[in-house]
Amino acid sequence: MIPLKELLAQVPQSGEVRWIGVRPASRAPMVEVEAVEARRDAGLTGDHARPTPRNQRQVTLIQWEHLPVVAALIGKAVAPADLRRNLAIAGINLFSLKNRRFRIGQAVLETTGWCQPCARLEERLGVGTFQAMRGHGGLTARVLESGIIRLGDRVEVLD
């Protein structure tokens, strides 16, 4: 039997970037892009997240496979832009990236925490969205090494 500690340390899957979006201003509609520059200690070019080294929410990620789950729970179609996360990632359980460094395209990121749902989602998508998003909000990360992230780029765990 493999010890739990060893199972948690192994991440055999790699992911893929399926969607990229930036928020040019607070409450502004998301802008879908095919590629974005991730800047060390500053986040994504074109995104309104505070560009400071202390900002733990420089980049937000959501699990691509969770989109239909949230849609089923609220009873309507959900697009990645509706959930206001920067990157939608398929093929890897994002929770396995917690407390790890990982590469997406040319950039290296590090998880900083869970991306909790906020009241704005309820305002935008209707009653029940906040509860539907609990456990499906994704992760927050900061940029350790600058680089370009493109649609289709691999997501690989570094440690």
pLDDT for 23 equals 92
Specify if 5 maps to a domain.
no
Which residue type does 33 have? V
Is 3 within the bounds of a domain? no
* CA–CA distance, 68 with 75 (Å, rounded to integer): 10
What is the rounded average pLDDT for all residues in the chain?
Answer: 90
Q: Are 40 and 141 in contact (CB under 8 A)?
A: no
Domain-embedded: residue 97: yes
Q: 101-143: per-residue pLDDT in tens?
A: 999 999 999 999 888 877 788 788 888 888 888 888 899 999 9
- Tell me whether residue 77 is in a domain: yes
State how many domains the chain has. Answer: 1
Measured distance CA(9)–CA(96) in Å, rounded? 9
Does some domain include residue 7? no
Whole-structure pTM value: 0.91
**CB count in 10 Å sphere of residue 12:** 7
- CATH of residue 84's domain is 2.40.33.20
Residue 15 in contact with residue 88, Cβ under 8 Å? no
The owner of tokens 């869970």 is 114
Residue keyed to tokens 């206001």: 84
Residue 10 lies in a domain: no
Q: How far is CA 9 from CA 3, 61, 110, 138, in A?
A: 10, 21, 16, 19
Query: Phi/psi at 113 (nearest 5 deg)?
Result: 160, -175
Measured between its terminal Cα atoms, the distance across the chain in Å is 23
Whether residue 140 lies inside any domain: the answer is yes
CA distance 56 to 134: 20
The tens place of each residue's pLDDT in the chain, 159 residues long, gives 888 888 777 877 889 999 999 999 888 899 999 999 999 988 999 998 765 566 778 999 999 999 999 999 999 999 999 999 999 999 999 999 988 999 999 999 999 988 887 778 878 888 888 888 888 889 999 999 999 999 999 999 998
What is the distance, to the nearest Å, from the Cα of residue 53 to the centroid of all Cα atoms in its chain? 18
Could you list the residue range(s) of the whole structural domain that residue 147 is in?
A: 15-157
